[in-house]
Amino acid sequence: MQTRRFDGTLNPFNNQPYSKQYRGILRNRKELPIYAHMTANQIMIVVGETGSGKTTQIPQLVCHLDVPHSRGKIVACTQPRRIAAMSVAKRVADEMDLTLGKEVGYSVRFDDMTEPGTTFLKYMTDGMLLREAMSDPDLSRYSTVILDEAHERTLATDILMGLLKDVTKRRPDLRLIITSATLDTHKFQQYFGTDEHSLAPLFVIQGRTHPVEVIHAQEQEPDYITDAIRTVLRIHRMEGEGDILLFLTGQEEVDNACKGIMTGAQDLLKQNPSAVGPLVCIPLYASLDAEQQERVFDPPPPRRNPGGPAGRKVVVSTNIAETSTTVDGIVYVVDSGVSKQSVYNPRIRVESLSVSPISKASAKQRAGRAGRTKPGKCFRLYTEKEFKAFKDQDPPGILRGNLDSTVLALVKIGTRDLVQFDYIDSPAPETLPRALATLNYLGALDNEGDLTVLGITMAELPLDPQLAKALVVSPEFGCSVEILTIVSMLSVPNVWVRPTNQRLEADRARASLTIPDGDHLTLLNVYDKWVRNSRRSNWSWNNYVSQRSLLEAEQARCQLESLMIRFDIELVSAGKGPGLHKRVREALACGFFMQVAHKEGRAYVTVKDNQKVFIHPSCGLGDKPEWVLFNEFVLTSRPFIRTVTAIDPEWLLGEAASYYDIDNWKDGEAKRSLMRTRNQLPTQTSGHSSEG
């Protein structure tokens, strides 16, 4: 092993003298047990507790072994989460005394912080590496690929495992490291073994964990958020020094709980100023920017006076703190027992997020977060009986998600037989044909399953196939500038801000920006108004829209615009004319004709799947149009469709004739309505030219 490289006076990666900071970090780093385990196997599995240094340390060590910069190669480390890729790249650049965006970079969708020719260590989302495999199936730019957080079993990581297993056979010079935070690595070892009987080498990083006492709730509580706030405050009052980590499910919950905890802590202080120490509450969820996320690493607040009670940091997090972000100093964990999980409904072909009980494996991970620094306690807001009913493990992403994008990527990479692909876990039998059919209806694949010209372009765009299709065909409707904006707005976190105590004002502001023909047009309007108001944060603030989401949308728009230029998608604007809205809606229908609902009574029914749905209260549609397309399906108290736009039924018959082969449909209101539409058309509409 080339540890010598660590000890020179010059940084081997940029030939600059090391700074004092670097020396300090280096000393700590060399004490991490991981260094004892590295050898020169082509493929290896590394397992280690969360916080043992897999994400930050292994890639650095690999750089010292590979010296990628001296041979024009790159070390890649994939992350399931965008935010993790960004924040860890920053951290590691600091640790290596190098510059983020130069030698150490990151690449996530719509944000590329790398410098070609300079970056040799690249953190990236697994989705981005899968994209790169589309144009470079051998991943020839990389000397090592580290598939980090493989235990999360995201769809992209699973597919990358399959692809890379193959690439390592073609490229003996490529090193592959799979890391996992959970011990059930046997499956990975078997999968990467050279034959049926041999297992791929496993390296276990010995954790330095302390015992955690698990305390279950005595009885079932109906409202876990109130219960969580109460529990955090009780710990603050009754328990010794140490920070608290609370697991909830989503941004809104996290923000609300932070407010509740802060208010409660202030009340405690008023009641008895000498009994409790100062408390800070730090939210942690995926849509925070990297800088905000860094706050979780801040030390707890200092004592108010010497000898007074110690300060406490409370991190309120989604399941992102379960394995992907390690916060040191946590002694108490409060586990709500739920998380927001993506559920795919193959019947209506849409994914939705819903709050569901976690698995036993997750509960164990969450509890483990309390024992990083010293013995800790985990307060479970569910009874032992409830815990016993949790499933052992979450099913892998490939069994949960929509495979449309993945199948398009695999076809682009050149996978000839999708069924025979070496999946670590095969998708459910009906999902592959379904994805193929969807791509065929969209015109991306022909009837033989080969990519069409349209499909090749669609695959190049980092968008869901529906959005990609709408964008690629939009020049035919003379509105690609507008669709570009809409697609960008749909690719960023929710732009609407609705603070609990200002709902009325927020709703009023939203109403004044609303275009009654459809929420997609409203998004276009918001973006255009923002640009016309010089992108001022003041304007966003006054209109209750998120400046950060708009800035992100602008960044996405910029990147998509350059891709459009590269792939010859003409940039044309429908101008301000009266036809603008209609053309935009028609172009959208070309992508979203499979996400269409028909009004029946007071509700809507999705086309073909006949699922009863309701228009989400946040939607701004003026009156209830007979036909709508929708971007999202959300299941809360009722099944809702969200981001909804009115469409004309003749577009469906014209632009998606093969999907709307209504003669073969079962009788129903939608069919009858479409029949009437067809009979009223002057001549039989023929299929759109872009249909495969």
Interface residues with ligand CDP (CB under 6 A) are 48, 50-57, 87, 91, 297, 326, 328
Closest CA to 32 of 9, 56, 4: 56
Strand order in the sheet with 330-335: 212-215, 376-380, 330-335, 243-247, 312-317, 279-284
- Among positions 631-660, residues that touch Mg ion (CB under 5 A) are none
How many Å apart are CA 674 and CA 121, to the nearest integer?
A: 55
48 binds, among ligand CDP, Mg ion, none (CB under 5 to 8 A by kind): ligand CDP
How many Å apart are CA 98 and CA 94, to the nearest integer?
A: 6
Alpha carbon of residue 410 to chain centroid: 20
56 binds, among ligand CDP, Mg ion, none (CB under 5 to 8 A by kind): ligand CDP
Contact 202, 44 (CB under 8 A): yes
Instruction: Give whichever of 88 and 113 is closer to Mg ion, judged by the CB atom.
Output: 88
Minimum distance of Mg ion from residue 85's CB (angstroms): 11
How many Å apart are CA 613 and CA 607, to the nearest integer?
A: 11
| DSSP track, 350-405 | EEEEEEEE--HHHHHHHHHGGGSSS-EEEEESS-HHHHHHS-SSPPPHHHHS--HH
How many Å apart are CA 649 and CA 655, to the nearest integer?
A: 10
Minimum distance of ligand CDP from residue 353's CB (angstroms): 25
Does 79 engage in binding with Mg ion (CB under 5 A)? no
Does 440 engage in binding with Mg ion (CB under 5 A)? no
- Position of tokens 């020049």? 475
341 binds, among ligand CDP, Mg ion, none (CB under 5 to 8 A by kind): none
Instruction: Give whichever of 180 and 549 is closer to Mg ion, judged by the CB atom.
Output: 180
79 binds, among ligand CDP, Mg ion, none (CB under 5 to 8 A by kind): none
144 binds, among ligand CDP, Mg ion, none (CB under 5 to 8 A by kind): none
Instruction: Give whichever of 50 and 543 is closer to ligand CDP, judged by the CB atom.
Output: 50
Residue facing Mg ion at closest CB distance: 55
Minimum distance of ligand CDP from residue 20's CB (angstroms): 18
Instruction: Give whichever of 86 and 553 is closer to ligand CDP, judged by the CB atom.
Output: 86
Minimum distance of Mg ion from residue 323's CB (angstroms): 7
How many Å apart are CA 370 and CA 375, to the nearest integer?
A: 7
Instruction: Give whichever of 228 and 282 is closer to ligand CDP, judged by the CB atom.
Output: 282
Instruction: Give whichever of 108 and 279 is closer to Mg ion, judged by the CB atom.
Output: 108
549 binds, among Mg ion, ligand CDP, none (CB under 5 to 8 A by kind): none
Alpha carbon of residue 200 to chain centroid: 29
CA 49 → CA 54, 57, 151, 240, 325, distances in Å?
9, 13, 12, 25, 12
Per-residue binder mask for Mg ion (CB under 5 A), 663-682, x = binder: --------------------
Minimum distance of Mg ion from residue 77's CB (angstroms): 9
Minimum distance of ligand CDP from residue 50's CB (angstroms): 4
Instruction: Give whichever of 48 and 260 is closer to Mg ion, judged by the CB atom.
Output: 48
How many Å apart are CA 588 and CA 594, to the nearest integer?
A: 11
Instruction: Give whichever of 182 and 345 is closer to ligand CDP, judged by the CB atom.
Output: 182
Instruction: Give whichever of 181 and 459 is closer to ligand CDP, judged by the CB atom.
Output: 181
Residues 100, 102, 104, 108, Cα dihedral to 10°? 80
Instruction: Give whichever of 150 and 674 is closer to ligand CDP, judged by the CB atom.
Output: 150
User: What's the 3-state SS for 87-156?
Assistant: HHHHHHHHHCCCCECCCEEEEECCEEECCCCCCCEEEEEHHHHHHHHHHCCCCCCEEEEEECCHHHCCHH
Contact 570, 480 (CB under 8 A): yes
Per-residue binder mask for Mg ion (CB under 5 A), 33-62, x = binder: ---------------------xx-------
Dihedral sign from CA coordinates of 159, 163, 164, 166: positive
Minimum distance of ligand CDP from residue 328's CB (angstroms): 5
Minimum distance of ligand CDP from residue 239's CB (angstroms): 22
Minimum distance of ligand CDP from residue 511's CB (angstroms): 41
Minimum distance of ligand CDP from residue 484's CB (angstroms): 34
Minimum distance of ligand CDP from residue 191's CB (angstroms): 21
Minimum distance of ligand CDP from residue 157's CB (angstroms): 14
51 binds, among ligand CDP, Mg ion, none (CB under 5 to 8 A by kind): ligand CDP
DSSP designation for 310: P
Instruction: Give whichever of 25 and 635 is closer to ligand CDP, judged by the CB atom.
Output: 25
Contact 692, 446 (CB under 8 A): yes
Does 415 engage in binding with Mg ion (CB under 5 A)? no
DSSP designation for 43: E
Exposure string for 662-675, b = 16+ CB within 10 A, e = fewer: beeeeebebbebbe
* Contact positions vs Mg ion (CB under 5 A): 54-55
